[in-house]
Amino acid sequence: MLAKKNIAIGGISTECSSYSPLFQNKEDFRTVREQDLLDLVDFPFSEHNINVSPLFFKKSVPGGPIEREYFDQVKNQFIEEINALGKLDGILLLMHGAMYVEGIEDPEGDWISSVRLAAGPDCIISLSYDLHGQITDKIIKNIDAFAAFKTAPHIDVKETYRRSASMLVSAINENYRPIVLWSSIPVLVSGEMSSTFVEPCKTIYENLDQYNNENGILDCNLLVGYVWADTQRATASSVVTCTNEIMGAKLCKKIAANYWNSRKDLKSDMQTGSIDDALLWLKSDFSIVADSGDNPTAGGVGDRVDVLEAILKHSHIDSLFAGIASKSAYDELKIGNEFSLGGTFGGGGPLLKLKADSVYFKNQCAVVSISKTVIVISKIRRPFHNFKDFEELNLKLSDFKILVVKSGYLSPDLQSLSAQSFLALTEGAVNQNLAIIENKHRNKKIYPFQDFDNFIPLVSDGVSLVS
Ligand SMILES: [Zn+2]
């Protein structure tokens, strides 16, 4: 029997708005290790005669920039753990792709090139990514295989891990080295404008599966990138893992051209408008309003009360706010019924002085009633996007006419309600009104920041242009 091959798994995943005042550090990241990390990836490596060493996987709720010192410390720890394993045949890296660290233009490129340096030139590195991630030459030249989510909202996370793991295993066991190619596409829109469940992205992403059937092609991807980090690298991209460079380059260009040609059709599938528009739109049936500029799952702070202020003026409607992050309001409610809400974590916006009619505490949340409005105040920044989040607080959505969530496109659970929904273009660290967000560092021409017609995709292997 052949000697077992050795691989390691690990990485770091978050999305950082450069417009958020709130830095991320140790407190924000959860660490997945050992059996939990193997369960997360859930790939039968042992059936392929491969021995796996789980390193660690750091993950946070998206937020602001990562503190430089913390980033360096975690990266160094990751590299030390790789060094301690000795010779590795492969590494499966789990990354998101939209980190922002002050003073480092390309944090993922920095991390991945350090991994390459530690693992040596012969180690096969397969990268698993979010389709809201950023790509650079530095990333591509240091990896051998790439797979990103093909659904947004993301329902193919495990499937994506499996695609990256499967390419890694084949390359190791069949002793070949795949090629990764990419094209930058000068389009940068929000996730809400590029949902894969509606056109034009639905068809563009479905086509990726067809391209994967071509000879010499292993995995085709389209990344829409991340719009709320004002960085030079910010761009959409096509990425193709292949064994046939000519076919790979052809498809890389084709995916880039398809997305570019559809750019003017990229728009939210929900009705959008200001908070006032949202109030005028409200129907008598159960409706959902997404407070999109302060959405914590995209990097928003989650403590703004702009929508609450507007809806409290219509206090005759049974409405549920889930949730607003405020440790100070939570602490105030522990001792009395008067509290202040808004801007606690630096998200800005109005400050409200309020008085609770009643309050109960559960799961690190204060659930407050004021007339017909119920507000969930969470001690920490967090989303309330799943049915479980409401059930845990003994809240029944059917008791309300309006649900206000801090969200962009609705989560699969909320979408399954088929309720009327409105995307409020509110202020915050992830403002969907792209025309007004600060744009100092995106120094290449990029749609919709600039409108132009001439774009010819170029294909790079990370070292030089191949087509
Ligand atoms: Zn994403």
Q: Read off φ and ψ for residue 163, nearest 5 degrees.
A: -65, -45
Q: Which two tokens stand for residue 138?
A: 């530095």
Whole-number pLDDT of residue 1: 61
Side-by-side strand order, sheet with 90-95: 29-33, 50-60, 5-13, 90-95, 124-129, 145-148
pLDDT tens, residue by residue, 423-464: 999 999 999 988 889 888 987 899 999 999 999 999 999 999
Ligand 1 centroid distance, CA of 105 (Å): 20
Inter-residue contact 331 to 378 (CB < 8 Å): no
pLDDT (0 to 100) of residue 214: 98
DSSP string, 371-410: TTEEEEEESS-----SHHHHHTTT--GGG-SEEEES-SSP
If you measure from the C-alpha of residue 193 to the centroid of ligand 1, how many angstroms do you get, rounded to a whole number? Answer: 13
On the question of pLDDT at 401 being above 90, the answer is yes
Closest C-alpha to 108, from 90, 95, 124, 89 = 95
Q: Are strands 236-242 and 217-223 parallel, antiparallel or unpaired?
A: antiparallel
Dist. CA 429–CA 437, nearest whole Å: 9
Residue 315 reports pLDDT greater than 70 = no
376 pLDDT more than 70: yes
Cβ contacts of residue 129 below 8 Å, gap of 6+? 95, 96, 97, 146, 147, 148, 149, 160, 221, 223
**Residue 325's pLDDT is what?**
97
* Tens digits of residue pLDDT in 228-277: 999 999 999 999 999 999 999 999 999 999 999 999 999 998 999 999 99
Specify the pLDDT at position 436: 86
Q: Residue 166: CB partners within 8 Å, gap ≥ 6?
A: 43
Using the mean position of ligand 1's atoms as its centre, give its distance from the Cα of residue 343 in Å: 25
**185 alpha carbon – ligand 1 mean position (Å):** 18
Residue 314 has pLDDT above 80, yes or no: no
Query: How far, in Å, from the CA of 124 to the mean position of ligand 1?
Result: 25
Residues 191-206: tens digit of each pLDDT? 999 999 999 999 999 9
* Averaged pLDDT for residues 395-407: 96
Using a cut of 0.85, tell me whether the model's pTM lies above it.
Answer: yes
181: left (phi over 0), alpha (psi -120 to 50) or beta: beta
421 alpha carbon to ligand 1 midpoint, in Å?
Answer: 21
Span from the CA of 149 to the centroid of ligand 1 (angstroms): 8
* β-sheet bridge partners, residue 374: 320, 369
CA of 100 to the centre of ligand 1 (A): 15
CA of residue 189 to ligand 1 center, whole Å: 12
Whole-number Å distance, alpha carbon 152 to ligand 1 midpoint, is: 7
Q: For residue range 72-91, what is the model confidence (pLDDT) as tens digits?
A: 999 999 999 999 999 999 99
Distance 466 CA to ligand 1 centre (A): 29
Distance 204 CA to ligand 1 centre (A): 17
Residue 67 has phi, psi (to 5 degrees) of -60, 135
pLDDT score recorded for residue 443: 77
What is the H or E stretch that residue 349 is in? none
CA neighbor of 328 nearest in space, from 346, 312, 315: 346
